[in-house]
């Protein structure tokens, strides 16, 4: 079964802690993306990667970091520098430019 998995589904973090969200795809897609969604808002792009070992900042990259060591995996680290990290985080992938993106089920992060 091809698709995108994200883990965990729910994540709780204390202030000042870094936390890493997992995203794995078995669709053989080159491009992967991380979005943040806040209540009542559309999606905002955090980071994207077009190929392994390469990634670019999106619109709201401050306080986040990523890596792309394998084609299948694109983990997102929410650092303590992110001032308001409580949100729903969505990972996506696409086969190439201009094609539609496929989404994982999301991770809801809550900072206590």
Site for other proteins, rule CB under 8 A: 4, 6, 31, 40-45, 48, 50, 58, 88, 90, 92, 94, 97-98, 100-106, 108
Nearer to other proteins, 3 or 81 (CB): 3
**Of 3 and 20, which CB lies nearer to other proteins in the complex structure?**
3
CB 43, min distance to other proteins, A: 5
| Letter string b/e over residues 72-81, b meaning 16 or more CB atoms within 10 A of that residue's CB | bebbbebeee
Distance CA(36)–CA(66), nearest Å, equals: 14
φ, ψ for residue 74, nearest 5 deg: -145, 75
CB 45, min distance to other proteins, A: 6
Q: How far is the CB of 106 from other proteins (least distance, A)?
A: 5
Measured distance CA(20)–CA(8) in Å, rounded: 10
- CB of 16 or CB of 42, closer to other proteins: 42
Report how far apart, in Å, the C-alpha atoms of 85 and of each of 38, 64, 98 are: 10, 9, 29
């Amino acid at each position: 079964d091809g698709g995108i998995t994200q883990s965990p589904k729910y994540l709780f973090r204390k202030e000042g802690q870094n936390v890493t969200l997992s995203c794995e795809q078995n669709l053989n897609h080159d491009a992967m993306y991380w979005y943040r969604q806040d209540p009542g808002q559309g999606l905002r792009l955090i980071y994207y990667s077009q190929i392994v070992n390469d990634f670019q900042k999106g619109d709201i990259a401050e306080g986040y970091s990523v890596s792309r060591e394998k084609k299948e995996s694109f983990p997102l680290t929410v650092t303590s520098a992110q001032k308001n990290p409580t949100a729903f985080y969505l990972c996506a992938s696409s086969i190439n430019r201009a094609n539609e993106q496929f989404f994982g089920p999301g991770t809801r992060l809550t900072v206590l």
